[in-house]
Homo-oligomer: A and B are copies of this chain.
Amino acid sequence: MAQRKSRSDRRIDLIEAARRAIIRHGVDGVQLSHVAEEAGLTSGAVLYHYPDLSELLVEAQHAGMERFYEQRLRQLSALTDPVEKLVVTIRSGLPTGPLDPDVRLLNELGGAAGRNRVYGVLLTSLYDRQVSMYQAILDTGAALGVFRLSADSVTIARNLVALEDAYGYRITARHPLIGPAEAAELILSYARAATGNDLSY
Contacts and interface: CB of A to CB of B under 8 A. Distances in A.
A40 interface: no
A98 B120 CA distance: 11
Contact of A174 (B25, B120, B150): B120
Interface in A161-195: 161-163, 165-167, 169-170, 172-176, 178, 186-187, 189-190, 193-194
A198 to B, nearest CB: 12
A interface secondary structure, majority: helix
Interface in A110-133: 110-115, 117, 119-120, 123-124, 127
A28 interface: yes
Contacts of A163: 159, 162-163, 166
Nearest to A152: B189
Contacts of A189: 151, 155-156, 159
Interface stretch (A3-11, A65-73, A77-85, A101-109): A101-109
A24 interface: yes
Contacts of A110: 107, 110-111, 169, 173
Interface of A: 23-29, 98, 104, 107-115, 117, 119-120, 123-124, 127, 150-151, 155-156, 158-159, 161-163, 165-167, 169-170, 172-176, 178, 186-187, 189-190, 193-194
Would you list the 3 A-B pairs with minimal beta carbon distance, nearest first? A28-B29, A162-B166, A26-B28
